Amino acid sequence: VQTELSPGALAIYVHWPYCQAKCPYCDFNSYARTTISEADFLRGILREIETHRGFLNGRTITSVFFGGGTPSLMSPATVGAILDGIAAAWRMDEGAEITLEANPSSVEAGRFAGYRAAGVNRVSIGVQSLRDDALKFLGRLHSAEEAREALKIADRLFDRYSFDLIYALPEQRPQDWEKQLTEALELANGHLSVYQLTIEPETAFFDLERRGKLRIPLPDTAAELYALTQDICEAAALPAYEISNHARPGHESRHNLTYWRYGEYAGLGPGAHGRVHRGGSKQATACLRQPIEWLTAVDRDGIGWSCEDALPMQEQAEEMLLMGLRLREGLDLDRLTRETGHGVEAGAVTQLAKEGYLVGPESNRVLRPTRQGSLVLNAIVAELSKALRPVPLSTGPAMSRTTTEPDRRPHSTEARPA
Ligand code: SF4
């Protein structure tokens, strides 16, 4: 199990907040109406880089991720200028992964060569479906043919690329999903993200569902589709390395692994989150969500944060559980204790393992959910969080020996993106 992060490694997330239209299922911090110019966005990001450099000096950048919103609406020149700013502020690791999220419209795919020349070495394409009727339902502006074309261009230009698909759409039949996923796997290079449609508050789909005009599959059907997804991807040698992410060995998203392994990352741009060490503790940072407010704060203070909170050790342990249990490699219990001073009560682990939700940690000190456990991960994490106890760091056992039976069983079915 390879869960260690290199010392001094820093990942950088850059959030571009605009899209051409708002998709009805999306609760990301994205806006269809542009309120700050691309030049102003660039100025703000470069200033945030300067400010971060002041307290994160000596770090090595292992990945940069341009997310959004739709970062492929940015010109390659802007992307290049941001990467130049990062390279001037820190040492770039030789194998640094530079990902840009892109929509597969023909215009955006036409910019892929420019992004590559600017330093991007991986694209993550928001295909979402290879069926035109589903794309229409999801409010996407591209066609299935454009998506296939964009994947071909990515394949020509990049050694590593990924694309997203959404399943468990209303009335989606397992045989239709199987056919589509099989086609997708033929187009995939080494990485595929497969998300179950979930209805998030404050989205257009949320309103439709509330008014009875939208019904997503029942939990049992969704679980069946999830199992089918795992089986098909495993058979195609793209097993899940995270709940919704599948990769051939070596093609895992290094950037996202930093989140799941609870490493250090800086979040730049409107609404971006970070976890950075500052002033002797791990800080949770979040930027102002509205682009204009973010830019005003950056111009005034050099950084667009709406909050910066020192995370208590218990909260760090909870976050580490939440992230680490998403991974197939699991969570190293000794690392949990080393970094947070907390262990999980042995009784809670044994009980969840007995019920089939966890692979037992006895032999290798690693905690990981079974496939059944992955379906109810939030509930498993809630159980384990209740069983966290401080452990003296000098002795360092990862599991406390006190035993208390969990008083609530996992109950919800979910398999959704982070
Ligand atoms: S799903 Fe992607 S393209 Fe659609 S609104 Fe959200 S961020 Fe924009």
Question: How far is the CA of 215 from the CAs of 26, 89, 201, 227, 305, in angstroms?
Answer: 17, 49, 15, 21, 38
DSSP, res 71: G
Preceding amide of 69 cis, omega within 30: yes
Instruction: Provide the total of helices (H) and of strands (E) in the chain, helices listed first.
Output: 16, 17
Q: Are 320 and 339 in contact (CB under 8 A)?
A: yes
Q: How far does residue 126's CA lie from ligand 1's centre (Å)?
A: 9
Q: Cα-Cα-Cα-Cα dihedral of 312, 313, 314, 315, to 10°? A: 60
Pocket test for ligand 1, best of 15, 16, 20, 22 (most atoms within 8 A of CB): 22
**Whether residue 126 has its Cβ less than 6 Å from ligand 1:** yes
Please tell me the distance from the alpha carbon of residue 46 to that of residue 52, in angstroms, as a whole number: 10
User: Among 132-141, 255-264, 402-411, which stretch is predicted with the lowest mean pLDDT?
Assistant: 402-411
Q: What's the pLDDT score for residue 236?
A: 97
Q: How far does residue 389's CA lie from ligand 1's centre (Å)?
A: 40
Instruction: Tell me the one-letter amino acid at 63.
Output: S
The C-alpha angle with vertex 111 and arms to 109 and 114, in degrees rounded to 5, equals 140
Please tell me the distance from the alpha carbon of residue 233 to that of residue 243, in angstroms, as a whole number: 12
Instruction: Find tokens 């950037």 and name the residue.
Output: 255
Q: What's the pLDDT score for residue 109?
A: 86
Stated pTM of the model:
0.92
Question: How far is the CA of 8 from the CAs of 153, 210, 277, in angstroms?
Answer: 35, 47, 10
The C-alpha angle with vertex 70 and arms to 108 and 91, in degrees rounded to 5, equals 95
Of ligand 1's listed atoms, the one at least distance from the Cα of 103 is 3
Residue 415 scores a pLDDT above 50: no
**Whether residue 70 has its Cβ less than 6 Å from ligand 1:** yes
Minimal-distance CA residue to ligand 1 atom 2: 69
Of ligand 1's listed atoms, the one at least distance from the Cα of 19 is 8
What pLDDT digit, counting tens, does each position of 130-166 carry? 999 999 999 999 999 999 999 999 999 999 999 999 9
Q: What's the pLDDT score for residue 3?
A: 52
Q: How far does residue 20's CA lie from ligand 1's centre (Å)?
A: 8
Q: What's the pLDDT score for residue 5?
A: 75
Q: Are 374 and 316 in contact (CB under 8 A)?
A: no
Of ligand 1's listed atoms, the one at least distance from the Cα of 69 is 7
Please tell me the distance from the alpha carbon of residue 63 to that of residue 100, in angstroms, as a whole number: 11
Beta strand segments in 222-321, E: 240-242, 245-247, 265-268, 273-278, 281-287, 305-310
Of ligand 1's listed atoms, the one at least distance from the Cα of 68 is 7
What pLDDT digit, counting tens, does each position of 335-373 carry? 999 999 999 999 999 999 999 999 976 666 899 999 999
Please tell me the distance from the alpha carbon of residue 351 to that of residue 405, in angstroms, as a whole number: 7
**Whether residue 124 has its Cβ less than 6 Å from ligand 1:** no
Which is more confidently placed, 280 or 55?
55
Instruction: Tell me the one-letter amino acid at 223.
Output: A
The rounded mean pLDDT for the chain is 91
Pocket test for ligand 1, best of 15, 16, 26, 200 (most atoms within 8 A of CB): 26
**Whether residue 236 has its Cβ less than 6 Å from ligand 1:** no
Q: What's the pLDDT score for residue 6?
A: 83
**Whether residue 71 has its Cβ less than 6 Å from ligand 1:** no
Q: Phi, psi at residue 396, to the nearest 5°?
A: 70, 20
Residue 390, beta-bridge partner list: 342
Minimal-distance CA residue to ligand 1 atom 7: 69
Q: What's the pLDDT score for residue 411?
A: 27
**Whether residue 206 has its Cβ less than 6 Å from ligand 1:** no
Q: Give the 3-state secondary structure of residue 15.
A: strand
**Whether residue 271 has its Cβ less than 6 Å from ligand 1:** no
Q: How far does residue 287's CA lie from ligand 1's centre (Å)?
A: 19
Q: Are 367 and 405 in contact (CB under 8 A)?
A: no
